[in-house]
């Protein structure tokens, strides 16, 4: 169907077209901008991209580690800001989300950190909770874990597993932080050192569930070479930023709810050598909208 079927769209005021585009999606607005010059001009409007940004984006940016003024001064339009937030996750509030929306089992830690970004096609919120903001069993015991800095991490510190039998990582995030009407997936973000041990062919138990409501657990592999041993288990994949990730589970956020979502992984057994594990480097847990096939 051609544009002529809708009448002389070029005669419509640009702000009228911008309002119409703002009711679509970022993906659709970009597609329509290629259809006609009228759409192309209107699709650059702050009216359009202001609608695509989260309604509380100013509050989120206000908590940026670099400061809101420094961030906003870089961009001439809301479209530029939107695209930046899609491609460059920002650290917010050192991890302390305003209104106590961000909750973790390590809330007493003074180095809370979190990153925020947008999913490019939809504008929905994405977060990564830093390892420092997540409860790690024996995580503060130097004999078992150490905290190191890596230039490829978005956070100042990551956790490196030296040697441990009991492997357990558990975090928490409020559903109020997430975009309503969205299915979210949680991912463990990590890498393995060449000498990593105790993870091969040993699945872990992963979970994503509302606090106080136990859900069905799933088996996941930390070591990719072990993925072939169980048909129903998730295995790690390579991320674009060089890290690995494995899916922990998913949860649908309806909207209007105020609950804590617990996410984590535990109990990787290795019967051959007393269940000792090592060489796991943990950056955080990422929560982002489930990918939808176009």
Residues 21 and 157 in one domain: no
Instruction: Give the mean model confidence (pLDDT) for residues 40-57.
Output: 84
Would you say residue 71 lies in a domain?
Answer: no
Give the Cα separation of 90 and 93 in Å (integer): 10
In which domain, by residue range, is 111 found?
91-289
Give 213's pLDDT tier (boundaries 50, 70, 90).
confident
Does residue 117 belong to any structural domain of this protein? yes
What pLDDT sits at residue 9? 61
Looking at the structure, tell me whether residues 134 and 223 fall in a common domain: yes
Q: Give yes or no: residues 197 and 262 share one domain.
A: yes
Shared-domain flag, residues 169 and 262 = yes
Residues 191 and 48 in one domain: no
Residues 42 and 108 in one domain: no
Q: Total structural domains in the chain? A: 2
Could you give the strand order of the β-sheet that contains 135-136, starting from the edge strand earlier in sequence?
135-136, 168-174, 260-266, 204-210, 218-220
pLDDT digits (tens, 9 = 90+) for 1-33: 444 444 566 666 667 877 777 777 788 777 777
Q: What is the pLDDT of residue 136?
A: 97
> What digits encode the pLDDT tens for the residues 58-92?
888 887 766 677 778 888 899 999 999 999 999 88
Rounded to an integer, the average pLDDT of 211-223 is 85
Q: What is the pLDDT of residue 74?
A: 85
Q: How much is the pLDDT for 98?
A: 39
125 and 29 in a common domain: no
């Amino acid at each position: 169907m051609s544009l002529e079927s809708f009448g002389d769209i070029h005669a419509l005021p640009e702000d009228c077209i911008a309002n119409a585009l703002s009711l679509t999606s970022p993906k659709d607005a970009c597609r329509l901008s290629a259809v006609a010059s009228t759409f192309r001009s209107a699709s650059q409007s702050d009216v359009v991209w202001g609608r695509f940004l989260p309604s509380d984006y100013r509050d989120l940016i206000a908590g940026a580690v670099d400061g809101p003024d420094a961030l906003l001064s870089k961009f001439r339009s809301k479209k530029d800001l939107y695209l930046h937030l899609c491609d460059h996750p920002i650290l917010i509030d050192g991890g302390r989300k305003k209104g106590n929306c961000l909750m973790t089992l390590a809330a007493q830690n003074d180095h809370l950190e979190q990153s925020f970004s947008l999913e490019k096609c939809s504008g929905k919120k994405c977060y990564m909770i830093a390892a420092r903001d997540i409860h790690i069993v024996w995580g503060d015991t130097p004999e078992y874990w150490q905290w190191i800095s890596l230039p490829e991490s978005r956070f100042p510190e990551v956790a490196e597993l030296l040697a441990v039998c009991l492997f357990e990582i558990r975090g928490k995030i409020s559903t109020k932080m997430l975009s309503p009407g969205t299915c979210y997936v949680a991912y463990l973000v990590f890498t393995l050192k060449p000498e990593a041990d105790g993870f091969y062919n040993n699945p872990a138990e992963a979970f994503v569930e509302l606090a106080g409501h136990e859900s069905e657990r799933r088996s996941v592999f930390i070591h990719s070479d072990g993925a072939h041993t169980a048909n129903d288990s998730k295995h790690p994949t390579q991320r674009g930023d060089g890290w690995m990730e494995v899916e922990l589970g998913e949860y649908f956020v309806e909207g209007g709810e105020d609950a804590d979502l617990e996410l984590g992984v535990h109990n990787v057994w290795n019967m051959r050598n007393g269940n000792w594990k090592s060489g796991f480097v943990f950056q955080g847990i990422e929560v982002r909208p489930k990918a939808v096939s176009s």
